[in-house]
Amino acid sequence: MFLLQLAVILFFTKVAAFLVKKISLPSVMGEVLAGVVLGPSILGIIQYTEVLSHMAEIGVILLMFAAGLETDVNELKECGNTSILTALGGVVLPFVGGSAAAYFFGSNLYESIFIGTILTATSVSITVQTLFEMGKLKSREGLTILGAAVLDDILGIIILTLIAGVAVGETSIMLLLIKITAFFFLCWLIYRWQLVKRMAKIITRLRLQEGLLSFTIIVIFTFAYISEKSGVAAIIGSYIVGIMFGQTPYKERVLKSIQPFSISLFIPIFFATIGIRAELEHFSATIGFAITIIGVAILSKILGCGLGAKMTGMDLMASIRVGVGMIPRAEVALIVASIGLKNGIISSPTFSSAVAMVLITTIITPIMLKYSFAVGNETRLIKS
């Protein structure tokens, strides 16, 4: 059953990706839509099982690792200031806007603040994949987005911890902050001492069958685990590991051996599960609220992140592109939403609205990104 399930998902995601590409949209959109069609929302052929969730987790981790591998650290440093302001703008506006909108619709204070929190954390995997396909991942916009998403995630998690800590009364905020700091200090040490490069050198000398890839996978999984335990999302951990490997001479070899299976098995499953998890039947009950939340989610990121980017001297079109790239919410938003649902902070219709928001922002971003870059290219053509 499980093998057939995987085969069906892979077949339909690939067909959808192909069709969507035919109309010049990024394949990732097709993969998410295939998930919606196969999942409980429409056909109900595929259910979201534990195994699927684990395969999807490996998928998003490998995706972020590849993004890290392709990241040029020096270029990322140059985008530093832009990223910080982008992240700040992209956290403050969605948080305030989301909270206000929910309060306006009659949510209590806790629920309102929680909805604001759900709207903060960007999930750049969709943007990364789209930019990657467009060959724009290494553009200034791409690097700003990646940098901002790293900070954004940290800010979002800090807010969540504060809110959930207050609402549920479980978590020690100081302890969490210490753990996050310790994690990034550990990353800095490994990076500083070039431990990845040194170990990879030893491994390749041992001449094991696929030794380098095995080493890479072990490091990715271990780091994803450690980062999660430190209160940083696993995808951030794997992204950092990607950066570490990207600084070694083994970059190309690692990319070449890790990409085929990622692209043809794990990553399509990840994007399909986003669609599968969107239970659209709950959506119609709260259509007005949901539409408002979705509108706030989209506009607050474009405005907030765009403003942040603009303030550091980026031109208008590039700032908008950064804002657009920061729109999608996925894992973190879904995780936050389910924490809220579990602890009785948000209601079930609110949860469905959050899922719809994840879905819409996910689907809309590739289209808007493509369009925003197309407009940019025209501008440049006119100028030259």
Segment interacting with its own copies, rule: CB under 8 A, options 10-18, 30-38, 177-185, 357-365:
10-18
Angle (CA) 238 94 85, round 5°: 65
Q: How far is the CB of 55 from its own copies (least distance, A)?
A: 8
CA distances from 34 to 25, 72, 202, 212, 286 (A): 14, 33, 43, 34, 24
Q: Which is nearer to its own copies, 56 or 302 (CB)?
A: 56
Beta strand extents in the chain (DSSP E only)? none
Residue type at 111? E
Residues 6+ apart with CB under 8 A from 89: 303, 304, 305, 306, 307, 308, 309, 311
SS3 306: helix
Note the residue count of the chain.
384
Size of residue set near its own copies by CB under 8 A: 42
Q: How far is the CB of 233 from its own copies (least distance, A)?
A: 13
Q: Tokens at residue 253, please? A: 């070899």
Q: How far is the CB of 50 from its own copies (least distance, A)?
A: 6
Whether 333 and 121 have beta carbons less than 8 Å apart is answered as yes
Query: What residues from 319 to 348 belong to the interface with its own copies (CB under 8 A)?
Result: none
- How buried is 1 (Cβ within 10 angstroms: 0-12 exposed, 13-18 middle, 19+ buried)? exposed
Residue 224 interacts with its own copies (CB under 8 A): yes or no: yes
Segment interacting with its own copies, rule: CB under 8 A, options 180-188, 222-230, 296-304, 318-326:
222-230
Segment interacting with its own copies, rule: CB under 8 A, options 104-112, 143-151, 251-259, 342-350:
251-259
Q: How far is the CB of 251 from its own copies (least distance, A)?
A: 16
Residue 14 interacts with its own copies (CB under 8 A): yes or no: yes
Name the strand (E) or helix (H) holding 122. Answer: none
Q: How far is the CB of 245 from its own copies (least distance, A)?
A: 15
The site for its own copies (CB under 8 A) is made up of: 1-4, 6-7, 10-11, 14, 17-18, 27, 50-51, 54, 57-58, 61, 206, 208-211, 213-214, 217-218, 221-222, 224-225, 228, 234, 257-261, 263-265, 268
